[in-house]
Amino acid sequence: MNAAIRAVVRAGIYYKFAIVGIFSGYQGMIKGKMKKMNVRSVANIIHRGGTILQSARSEEFRTRTGRKKAIEKLKKNKIDALVAIGGDGTFRGAITLNKEYDIPIIGIPGTIDNDLFGTDATIGYDTATNTAVKAIDMIRDTALSHNRLFFIEVMGRDSGFIAMRSGIAGGAVATIIPEDDITLEELVEIINKGLKSKKSSSLVVVAEGGKLGGALQLAEKVKEKFSYFEPRVTILGHIQRGGSPTVFDRLLASRLGVAAIEALKEGKSNVMAGIKNSKIVFTPFQKSISTPKIINQEAWRIAKILSS
């Protein structure tokens, strides 16, 4: 997100806008936690994970009273347009604020889950996947040394994008994603194939929202099926959200940050800036959060072939 913040600030200044940073998301908006920003405000942040503006959930913003406080703080600071960086929660708030007060808002998709419709990739997705694959590579060393079956859980909520991509790149024997209807019996058969071919270790990548349960539940279900393997579980968790962003994420964030400012300049509002086939596109907020994003079927076909 820092690369996107940097791009918004620098592009805004380039186009003669005054830029104000709002700290702690909508909660900070309500509290008036705002600061004017210049090019020095975003120096040396493009390589840093997280966000210098920080984030926070806000139950108060869900109320009309809270949003009224927020809009009053915006007016006090002479803010007449917003760039909102985040996921579906951020965009739902933007929809409501725009509807009630008609303030122009452009969204930038910032979520590792890659679950927003209208963009091929969201900011953070590539970095999170690379982090997951590095962890999988290290876990493989242990699995080979100790002849073990590992269940590795990655993030993604109800989306299997991280799991699918890291499963292919990490050489997983199977990948479990919410979008697929694999049964326990089919998974056991896949692991059995490896056992019969004298495979010394097996890695199963599990999306946290998988229909068969998370990695812990799945390991318990499979545990009694094998005496040869000793199942182990690794939940990667929030390490996927941190770390220095990849080149791809830095470039994506930079492009979308500039696109957001140019969209405001052109009078656009209530849309998310995204990238499709390497081109900038804009999708209405409501469509971006309500339309299911379909997993790449060709990539999923390859994942199945390589694990067979």
115 a catalytic residue: no
CB distance 60 to 73 below 8 Å: no
152 sits in which H/E element? strand 149-154
Burial of 127 (0-12, 13-18, 19+ CB in 10 A): buried
Q: Rounded distance, CA 201 to CA 186, Å?
A: 18
CA 288, CA 271: separation in Å to the nearest integer?
Answer: 8
Residues found in the chain? 308
- Dist CA 135 CA 149 (whole Å): 15
The answer to whether 103 and 68 are in contact (CB under 8 A) is no
Decide: residue 67, CB within 10 A, 0-12 exposed, 13-18 middle, 19+ buried: buried
DSSP code at position 115:
-
The residues, any chain, with a CB within 8 Å of residue 178's CB and separated by 6 or more, are: 156, 158, 159, 160, 207, 209, 210, 211
Catalytic residue of the set 113, 126, 180, 249? 113
Instruction: List, in order, residues 6 or more apart from 194 with CB less than 8 Å away.
Output: 173, 202
Provide the annotated active-site residues. 113
